[in-house]
Structures are given as C-alpha cells and as structure tokens.
Amino acid sequence: MRVLYASVIVALAAASASCSKSPEKVTTEARQAAASWAATLSAGAEWWGSGKVSTPYFRSIVTQARTSLQKEEKSARNSAGEAAAAPIRAVASHAETIAGAVGRGDRAAAIVAAHAAASEVPADKTPAVAKPQ
Amino acid sequence: MKNMTNLALGIVTSIGGFLDVGAIATAALAGAAFGMQMLWVLAIGTLCVMLLTEMAGRLACVSHHSLVDAVRERCGFRYFSLLLIGELFVDLLVLAAEIGGVAVALHLVTGIDYRWFVPIVAFALWVLIWLGTFSIVQNGASLLGLITVAFVVGMWWMGPPWHEAIRAFVPSAPSHDSAKYWFIAVGIIGSLFEPFMLNFYASGAIEEKWSLKDITMNRVTAVLGMGFGAIIAVSIVILSALTLGPHGIQVDSYEQAALMMVQPFGRWGIPLFAASLGIACFGASLQVALNLSYLFSQGFGWNWSENLKPHEDARFALVYTLAIPVGALLVVVLGDPLQITTFSMALNALLAPVIVFPLLILMNDRHYVREYRNHAIGNVLVSAIVVIAFLIAMVAIPLEVLGG
C-alpha cells in the first residue's frame, strides 16, 4: 500500500512539473489576455460613444480590464522581467485614462485612449471560420 | 387536444430549460476562441443528451422509479454513496455557477458589484421553491427561458456563412492551443449532459405522474425539446464567432461575452443578454437545488415532492434550504463566476459515467423496464461518448489547471 501511495505522489509531482509553464508561455498568455482586453476596450468605447452600451456597463468593463491588466502585468514581470511587462503596462495606463474619461463622461477621449490601447498590443483575431488542423 | 397541449408545453419548456450558465459560457468561449470549429462537439453532445433524457423519462414511465431511487435499489447503498458524494460536490458548484450567473446578469444592467446580488438571488430562489409547486417551478422558469431565442434571432441577423457552419459539424482537431480546445470541448459536453438534469427529469416525470401512455410524449419531448434547445447553443457559438473573435476579443468574463449581442441588437443587446443569462440561470438553479433534495430524499427513502407542503416533507425542504446558502457562499468565496462555471462543467463530464452506466444497466433490466429495454445502438453510442468525454476530461482538466 505504501508503494502505491508513493507511486501516486511521484506521478502527481511529475505531472505538475511537466505541466508548469515556461516564462515564454507565461509572457505569451499575459500578452494575449492584454490584447483581448485592449480589443474589448476599443469595441466597448466605440459602442459607448455611439450610445449602444450604457455608462454603468462600460464602466464595469473598464474596471474588469484594469484588474485583469494589473494581474497580467505582474505575471509577465515576474516570469520574464520588465521588458516583457512594458506593453501590458502601456495598455493598463490607457485603461486608467479611459476610466478617467468615463468618470467625466468624455466619450471622445475614451475612444482615443481605447484605440491607443489596442495599438499597443494588437490582438490575434480569430476568423469565424477557423482553419482546423 | 389535452395531450397535444401537454406535448407542446413539454417541448417549449425543454427548449427554455435547455440553456443554463454552462451552455451559454462554454458556447461563448468556444466561438470567440475557435470560431465555428467546435460545432461538432455540440452536435455529438446533443445526440447523447437526447438519448439519455429519453432513457431517464422511459425509466420513470415504465417503472415509476426516479433514477436515484432505482440506482440505490439496483446497485446498493455503497454505490449510491459514491454517486451521492460526487453529485453533491458537483451540484453545489453548478448551483454556485447558476446563482453567480443571475447575479452577474443583474450586475450587467445595473453596474453594481455582482456579489451584492448573491444573497438576494439566493433568497428569491429559496422563497420560490418553498412556496411553489413543481409545475410553477418547472414550467414558469422554462417558459420565461424562451427569451434565449434572442440568440437565434441575433445569429440570423448577422447572416452567418451557412456553408462553413455546416462544415463545422464534421469533427476536427485544433490548429492551435490544443489544451484549451479540448478543455472547452469537455466543458461543452459537461454543460449538455449535466448529471443533475437526468435525475431532475425523471423525478419531474414522477411528480407529474407519467405512465406507459406518456412514453411517446417523453420521446418527442426529449428529441424535439433538446434538439431545438441545442439550436440556441449553436447560435451562441456562431454569434460569438462572428462578433467577438474577429475583433480579437476572448471571453475571460461575462462582460466580454455580453458584447456579442451589441452588433445585432444595438442598445438592446446588453439588456437582452442579461435577461437571457439571468432567466436561464435562475431556472437552472431552481432545478439544481431541487435535484439535491431529490437526491437525498430518494436515496434515503424520505418523503419527497415539490408539490407537498414543506411540513409534509421536512427533510426534503431542509436539503434545499441548506444547499442554497452554501451555493451562494461558494460564489462569494471562490469569486469569478465564469471560472466556477467552466470548471464545474468539466467536472460534470468526469461525473457522467458514475450516473450514466447505472442508467444503462437499468435500461437493459427487464425487472425495471420490461419490454421497453434499450436498443444496442443506444447503449453503444451513449457508452462511447461518455467514456471518450471522461477520458478527455481526465487529461484536459489537469492540463488546463496546471497550465500545460
């Protein structure tokens, strides 16, 4: 029985070790998440500007984006250093600007800042018809 | 005429009750990340859930046993204990995800933190079950759930490339991010045949006193209701693929998922998404909470029926009275309702064999279903899908959690 328990623990440890993320992987994932949030802010700001989404809703998107971007920036910095975190920090900074614009009700400024955020880390756009393997 | 009305009501409630937080979340995730490529997973899952639902209903019609009741009797108390523990754990997580879904829906329209709504939603849920009867709980929530047809209208409005959509029903492997692809695939399958649904459906059949004469109605309800319901889930995948993916938006939160409705519906988009999410999740949370009561009461031989007054089946009422606050607490403690949802849906796929294989045994046992036994094709199809989903879940869940 002890041998069985020991084998299970060794197998779990090996699985955990083999599944742990490399710094490049962490940075890529953080960058992808930041790009997705930048795209969300860009689309959201456009629609807020044209009155298609309400102010409380857009504010909650901006709040979510700020929280997620801070988390992604931290994880990129911890795994691959300042250089990897810089573009994500730039998006986070634009998100702060957008939050200020939402507070003032300045839709034009929010759109400008959101487009700037989207240009910092261009998103990988998924075509509706993705190519299978 | 009365039969036709019952049939129509059965189909309509199946459509309205098909969608829940899991189906909406996994379909939105799939569309944003992989376009329409995962439609084949939905098709296979729907075929499986049609077969399983029909079997659970047939068991109730012929034997007048609910699923849990029959499993307890046929497989013994030890096996029932395993089922009880597994389902208790997963159902509580699913209940948390559903309560979280309603709270997020209210957050989307008000902008107020979703956690403030959690106790209010939990209380409303408890009051409705405490005061309501089975038909109010089941039919009322499911009829309101027809608002999810908005996803179909939205998809139609966007004018999808039909030829490509049809081709996506052919199984294919991903060109990138395999771990995520298979994790979402398991989540989609888990969201379709949630184990709680099977026992809830069979218990409902007994609550409504189905008998042999209802076998055809059960078959038609299972096939058409689930089939039309699946069309709504397919619409969410396509809508998400047409509106989120091309902008580079991935679904990391419900706020992002809601954007899929803005292009087709303009300023009505977010309120429609919120209403669809909120009503679908509220209906599903009623079912999960009730199923926990059915699970304990049928397994331990207590008095049970949603049509009885709470003092007539006090232990039945006690289970949902305890389960609802625990589910609500889990939303607040675990945070991020979307992550709770995707994880609990994948766990559903892990748990499925524990309930599906006893169901298959029962459906081949003359003592329970007499001459209404399963055909070999049904047995093989369901077994194959459930085993494959289980194996993928065994690999995909650790990979996704540990980050491979």
A36 near B CB under 8 A: yes
Please tell me which residue of chain A has the smallest CA distance to B166: A129
Contact: A123, B249; criterion CB under 8 Å:
yes
CB contacts of A43 in chain B (<8 Å) are 247, 249, 259, 262
Q: A127 contacts in B (CB within 8 Å)?
A: 35, 245-246
Between A6 and B223, residue with greater pLDDT: B223
Q: How far apart are the first and last CA of chain A?
A: 44
Nearest CA in chain B to A33: B250
Minimum-distance CB partner of A36 among B246, B252, B403: B252
- Given this model, what pLDDT does residue B229 score? 86
Contact B250 A33 (CB under 8 A): yes
Q: What is the tens place of the pLDDT at every residue in B140-197?
A: 777 888 889 999 999 999 999 999 999 999 999 887 888 889 889 988 988 887 888 8
Which one, of A115, A83, A87, lies nearest residue A31 by Cα? A87
Pairwise pLDDT comparison (B389 vs A133), residue with the higher score: B389
Residue A132 pLDDT > 60: no
Which one has a higher pLDDT value, A10 or B219? B219
**A44: which chain B residues are within 8 Å (Cβ-Cβ)?**
259
Q: Does A17 touch chain B (CB under 8 A)?
A: no
Tens-digit pLDDT profile for residues B15-65? 656 788 889 999 999 999 999 999 999 999 899 889 999 999 999 999 999
Q: Which amino acid is at B189?
A: I
Name every chain B residue with its beta carbon within 8 A of the beta carbon of A114. none
> Are B399 and A127 within 8 A, CB to CB?
no
- Which among A21, A129, A131 is the top mutation candidate for probing chain B, defined by the most B β-carbons within 10 Å of its own β-carbon? A129
- Interchain CB contact of A78 with B (< 8 Å): no
The share of chain B scoring above pLDDT 90, in percent, equals 62
Domains of chain A, residue spans: 22-120
Chosen from A60, A64, A75 to mutate, greatest number of chain B CBs within 10 A: A60
Shortest Cα distance, chain B CAs vs residue A128, angstroms: 4
Partner B contacted by A121 (CB < 8 A): no
Q: How confident is the model at residue B400 (pLDDT cuts 50, 70, 90)?
A: low
Tell me the per-residue pLDDT of B235-276, one tens digit each, with 9 for 90 and over: 999 999 999 999 999 998 999 999 999 999 999 999 999 999
A59 touching B (Cβ < 8 Å): yes
A114-128 pLDDT, tens digit each: 999 999 888 777 777
Interface test with A, best of B251, B253, B339, B397 (most A CBs within 10 A): B253
Quote the pLDDT of residue A69: 93
pLDDT of B404: 46
Distance from the A69 Cα atom to the nearest Cα atom in chain B, whole angstroms: 12
ipTM exceeding cut-off 0.90 for this assembly: no
CB pairs < 8 Å spanning A and B: 128
In degrees, rounded to 5, the angle at the alpha carbon of residue B174 between the alpha carbons of residues A21 and A27 is 25
Task: Kindly indicate the confidence band of residue B353, based on its pLDDT and cuts at 50, 70 and 90.
Answer: confident
Q: Does B110 touch chain A (CB under 8 A)?
A: yes
Which of A33, A122, A132 has the CB atom closest to B252's CB atom? A33
User: What is the average per-residue pLDDT within A27-49?
Assistant: 91
For residue B34, CA distances in Å to B37, B168, B392 come to 6, 11, 18
From chain B, pick out residues whose CB is under 8 angstroms from the CB of A61. Answer: 255-256
* Cβ-Cβ contacts under 8 Å, A54 against chain B: 109, 111, 267, 270
Cβ distance of A44 and B259 shorter than 8 Å: yes
- pLDDT (tens digit per residue) in B303-352: 999 889 999 999 999 999 999 999 999 999 998 888 899 888 888 888 88
Residue B248 to residue A19, Cβ atoms within 8 A: no
* Mean of the per-residue pLDDT values of chain B: 90
